[in-house]
Amino acid sequence: MDQTSSDVKGSASGPGGTGGARDTWGSKAGFILAAAGSAVGLGNIWGFPTVAAQNGGAAFLLVYLGCVIFIGAPVMLAELTIGRHTQRNPVGAFRALAPGRSWIAVGALGVIAGVVILSFYSVIAGWTIAYIFKTLSGAFPPGADTTAIFASVAGSPTAAITYHMIFMVITIAVVVGGVRGGIERWTKVLMPGLAVLLLLLVARAVTLSGAGAGLSFYLNPDFSQITGSVFLAAAGQAFFSLSLGMGAMITYGSYISKKDDLVSSALAVTVFDTAIAVFAGLLIFPTLFHAGMDPTASGPGMVFVVLTSLLGTIPPAPWGGTVFGSMFFVLLFIAALTSSISLLEVGTAYLVDEKKFTRKKAAWLLGVVAFVLGIPSALANGAVPWLTSLPGIGMDFLSFLFTVFGQYALVVGALFISVFTAWIWGTKAAGDEVRANDGRFPLGRTWTFLIRFVCPIAIVLILINLIQALI
Ligand code: TRP
């Protein structure tokens, strides 16, 4: 089969997980782009600053970086290795490596988590579409009431649900078209563009009056703020941002060629994703303090409100804000799309490989389920009061799903994946797969130690802390 011109699993009759050859990414760079496209998304620009604000700023940043290095990166390599070795979706991968065991439940958990995460992810991504139009129409001159503008988008049932639907349909359409054609193409434009624009906006943010207080909140840790719940939030956020813990990277890894180097790919994706999140913090916190807002009171709308308040400060007003703002939201929309694709791809690959669905039917079925599931999240930012502040919980419904499925479920999933790789499949077999390209496994001993001991123990401690907090 011609491996360069056909889409990955682009048709129902294409390579499946159970039989013959499976297509691979066009090149190693193509794979890294796609995996980075999955990782970099709303989690970096929206999730990271929001969670950091609620967890003490600089204290959180420190713990977050620790979680990325010691837990995130090793689990990233584990997922990619499982994927490339089995060439299957998560459920099929666990079945292939541990036949007849209950490990496939971990794969199933991943499929479910993917659909639930997609449901609220699409709502936030819908706001970015609305903001493309808002910025283009010059809605953010100096002094604009950005809180009221956010309320007019997210608080309107029609607007919120319509944009959520538009985003979901686009996601489904790309997944139906096949993974590689869609993702590689978009990500090549997105990655450099987003990085450059982010740096320009950071340059503006850190030179605002009052930026110093924001930088100190973000970079100058108050160690007394580091509590068990900060660890849980940091680990959860790290997995969310790196697309780990539910098999997305198993699925993407299943398309990597045996000739490519897994270690450097995993590291490149991890470093790039983390850099974007750290820059997003450098953008949001100085602006937030400049605008005189309270970081600890931040909800799902914070980043939208804060970011757009920066636009009026970009010279020459109001054109500077219009140009930079619209470019930013276009890039954020594409970043969200290359991530949502991977959320839908996990379940789609499962239904195609294991249940013999056509790709089209699988993507539409799961996409429609995620759309319906997302409606309460779309109504949870002002449109419906009890969803905006859940009785007995106090959180809005979207934040609740983000916490439970976007963070806790991924922490649990990552625990199982690390235990499975280290102790069931075994680090020796995994190491052989890593070495399949050139016989080398740089950092092999370090990885073995981290995945065997550090990852499982750290995650178990984090979870014990969660259970204690709940009872
Ligand atoms: N990592 C993406 C982001 O930061 C979201 C995402 C895509 C994801 N695929 C995932 C999160 C799989 C967890 C698991 O926006």
Each residue's pLDDT tens digit, 28-52:
767 788 899 999 999 999 999 999 9
The CA distance from 65 to 467, in Å, is 24
Instruction: Assign 466 a pLDDT band (cuts: 50, 70, 90).
Output: confident
pLDDT of residue 145 exceeding 50 = yes
pLDDT of residue 105 exceeding 70 = yes
Stretch 199-224: mean pLDDT, rounded? 96
Output the pLDDT for position 9. Answer: 36
Q: Is the pTM of this model over 0.85?
A: yes
Output the pLDDT for position 181. Answer: 65
pLDDT of residue 272 exceeding 50 = yes
Quickly count: other Cβ atoms within 10 Å of residue 181's Cβ.
15
Helix H or strand E encompassing 124: helix 104-136
Q: Which two tokens stand for residue 296?
A: 């600890």
Q: What residue's CA is closest to ligand 1, atom 4? A: 43
Output the pLDDT for position 20. Answer: 39
Each residue's pLDDT tens digit, 183-195:
677 777 788 899 9
CB of 38 shorter than 6 A to ligand 1: yes
| Range of lowest pLDDT (9-23, 251-265, 422-436) | 9-23
Quickly count: other Cβ atoms within 10 Å of residue 78's Cβ.
29
Quickly count: other Cβ atoms within 10 Å of residue 350's Cβ.
26
Stretch 332-356: mean pLDDT, rounded? 94
Q: What is the DSSP letter of 144?
A: -
DSSP 306-332: HHHHHHTTSSSTTHHHHHHHHHHHHHH
The CA distance from 436 to 439, in Å, is 6
Each residue's pLDDT tens digit, 416-448:
999 999 999 999 999 999 999 999 999 999 999
Output the pLDDT for position 186. Answer: 73
Q: Which two tokens stand for residue 357?
A: 């669905």
pLDDT of residue 66 exceeding 50 = yes
Q: Which residue has the higher pLDDT, 469 or 144?
A: 144
Q: How far is CA 118 from CA 290, 292, 344, 349, 370, in A?
A: 33, 33, 7, 15, 6
- Reduced to 3 states (helix: H, G, I; strand: E, B; else coil), residue 450 is helix
Q: What percent of the chain shows pLDDT beyond 70?
A: 93
The number of the ligand 1 atom at minimal distance from the alpha carbon of 246 is: 14
- Triad 426, 432, 435: Cα angle to 5°: 140
The CA distance from 421 to 360, in Å, is 32
DSSP 355-407: H---HHHHHHHHHHHHHHHHHHHHTTTTTSHHHHS-TTT-S-HHHHHHHIIII
The CA distance from 245 to 255, in Å, is 18
* Residue of 118, 119, 241 to test ligand 1 pocket, by largest number of atoms within 8 Å of CB: 241
**Residue 23 · residue 8 · CB < 8 Å:** yes
pLDDT of residue 465 exceeding 80 = yes
pLDDT of residue 365 exceeding 90 = yes
| Range of lowest pLDDT (14-18, 91-95, 142-146, 233-237) | 14-18
CB of 246 shorter than 6 A to ligand 1: yes
CA of 242 to the centre of ligand 1 (A): 6
CB of 335 shorter than 6 A to ligand 1: no
The number of the ligand 1 atom at minimal distance from the alpha carbon of 39 is: 1
pLDDT of residue 175 exceeding 80 = yes
The CA distance from 108 to 110, in Å, is 5
Stretch 132-142: mean pLDDT, rounded? 97
Output the pLDDT for position 1. Answer: 33
CB of 348 shorter than 6 A to ligand 1: no
Output the pLDDT for position 23. Answer: 64
**Residue 251 · residue 89 · CB < 8 Å:** yes
pLDDT of residue 6 exceeding 60 = no
Q: What is the DSSP letter of 17?
A: S
Question: What average pLDDT does the structure give for the chain?
Answer: 91
Q: What residue's CA is closest to ligand 1, atom 6? A: 243
**Residue 258 · residue 86 · CB < 8 Å:** no
pLDDT of residue 21 exceeding 90 = no
Output the pLDDT for position 18. Answer: 34
pLDDT of residue 269 exceeding 80 = yes
Q: What is the DSSP letter of 40?
A: S
Instruction: Assign 205 a pLDDT band (cuts: 50, 70, 90).
Output: very high
* Residue of 68, 240, 249, 401 to test ligand 1 pocket, by largest number of atoms within 8 Å of CB: 240
CB of 363 shorter than 6 A to ligand 1: no
Q: What residue's CA is closest to ligand 1, atom 12? A: 243
Output the pLDDT for position 22. Answer: 62
Q: Which of 37, 30, 29 is nearest to 273 (CA)?
A: 37
